[in-house]
Amino acid sequence: MAETADIVIIGSGIVGSSVAYHLAEAGCTNILVIEREAHQGKGSTGKSMGGVRAQFSTPVNIQMARYSIDFFSRFDEVVGHPADYRAHGYLFCATNERHLAYLKTNRERQHALGVTNVELVSPEDIAKFVPQLRVDDIVGGTFCSTDGFVDPHSVMMGFMLNARERGVKLWLDTEVTGIEVSPADSSSISSGEDFARRITGVQTTRGRVSTPVVVNAAGPWAAQIAAMAGVTLPVEPLRRQLVPTEPFDGLPQCFPMVIDMSTGFHFRREGKGILLAWNDPEETPGFKTDFDPGFVEKILTRAASRVPSLIDAEVNPQRAWAGLYEMTPDHHAIIGPAPNVTGLYFVNGFSGHGVMHSPASGRITADLILKGNSELIDTRTLGVERFSEGRLL
Ligand SMILES: Cc1cc2nc3c(=O)[nH]c(=O)nc-3n(C[C@H](O)[C@H](O)[C@H](O)COP(=O)(O)OP(=O)(O)OC[C@H]3O[C@@H](n4cnc5c(N)ncnc54)[C@H](O)[C@@H]3O)c2cc1C
């Protein structure tokens, strides 16, 4: 018998899993999640640094982070699986007045939206968090104690296991190869509109699935999925590389994620070592997931300039890795219905924030599918139409 589902979710990373969880939690369980890999987490989710923060500059990102961090703090109890949320904080360090003014403006916006625990900190305060940090050129910063880290793989598994316990189906090792869209009906053709095109099913390597609703949760591959339905989605893959050090005790055992705003270099503790990150501005879009050994020297230069003791840290390039951000033109997510295909929903383009925003994005997508709106944010803000209408964030 042909397979049918009320909703098909394409992609079982942290975002698709959160959508499945939130739909199931709202009572909608005839859902099929389709994943082309044999295991979950092979996409961006398994490559993430796991950082979560409410210290954003735009209201929509602050609102989504606020909801998500509160969710992470209750995750184990609510979802029944550990998120490994560690509220170690995020410490932004400014080396010029322009960056400091930016942090102060953001802090006011964060406070106005209910994130009231973001503190302004002096260079002396910063040195107390991480005594090994060079602060001679730092003019100040901000710290938020509820920012921190989660285990992205565990969060993803928690969402999916909970959804499956409620009846959601997961097909692994199954690729979606096509999306079926009915042609526009004659009334819409005569009026010159094409919004009557609607989803009827998906084709997969396991056969056809009949469904009226498809959620595109395909991470960096989202534009390819949208194209299957004849829709252009402005999401591009961009390589990001992370370098863990070997065990290193030249920094405290517990300290916040530290962001050096002069270079964008940031780092946190990961077990006995330190996890080093820096977004190379020379990186170009593309499906590149190989780690470039030349990146080690680039990042260590930035690391040693901010934390001189890191010059002694050992790095094994074999343990470093690369993954893909899913970038949009304004570096904000795209969440909501496709404007010209009824039944197609996007939850894509997180531009480096898909883990930290996963609870909110799952909830908003479930709300939009089941109720047509969400109380969490003004959903028009993240709609894909913002690009054609010139409302970039
Ligand atoms: C190095 C690095 C560090 C990062 N650090 C952070 C961080 O600190 N904090 C943070 O919030 N975010 C971070 N991110 C971003 C975050 O990891 C992503 O935004 C997030 O994981 C996106 O989740 P996703 O579920 O949308 O995508 P993915 O995890 O990529 O999942 C998409 C899934 O879709 C599947 N798929 C694709 N095409 C098909 C198809 N045709 N048929 C079936 N299945 C398909 C893929 O196999 C994949 O499993 C980082 C990313 C990288 C690369």
The pLDDT of residue 195: 52
| Closest listed residue to residue 203, CA positions, set 223, 231, 180, 171 | 180
48 lines ligand 1 (CB under 6 A): yes
93 lines ligand 1 (CB under 6 A): no
**C-beta of residue 277 within 8 angstroms of C-beta of residue 314:** no
Strand order of the sheet with strand 3-4? 3-4, 207-210, 198-204, 176-182
Distance of CA 387 from the midpoint of ligand 1 (Å): 22
Q: Whose CA is nearest to atom 9 of ligand 1?
A: 51
Distance of CA 43 from the midpoint of ligand 1 (Å): 5
47 lines ligand 1 (CB under 6 A): yes
The pLDDT of residue 210: 98
Tell me how long the chain is. 393
For residue 217, the ligand 1 atom closest to its alpha carbon is 26
pTM exceeds 0.85 for this model: yes
109 lines ligand 1 (CB under 6 A): no
Written as tens digits, the pLDDT of the chain (393 aa) is: 679 999 999 999 999 999 999 999 999 999 999 999 999 999 999 999 999 999 999 999 999 999 999 999 999 999 999 999 999 999 999 999 999 999 999 999 999 999 999 999 999 999 999 999 999 999 999 999 999 999 999 999 999 999 999 999 999 999 999 999 998 665 555 555 555 799 999 999 999 999 999 999 999 999 999 999 999 999 999 999 999 999 999 999 999 999 999 999 999 999 999 999 999 999 999 999 999 999 999 999 999 999 999 998 999 999 999 999 999 999 999 999 999 999 999 999 999 999 999 999 999 999 999 999 999 999 999 999 999 999 999
**Residues 179, 168: Cα–Cα separation, whole Å:** 20
Pairing relation of β-strands 7-10 and 31-34? Answer: parallel
The pLDDT of residue 193: 52
Phi, psi torsion values for 61, nearest 5 degrees: -70, -35
| DSSP type of residue 183 | P
For residue 322, the ligand 1 atom closest to its alpha carbon is 1
Instruction: Tell me the residue type at 241.
Output: Q
The pLDDT of residue 138: 97
- Residue whose token pair is 């780690």: 291
10 lines ligand 1 (CB under 6 A): yes
Distance of CA 142 from the midpoint of ligand 1 (Å): 28
The pLDDT of residue 55: 98
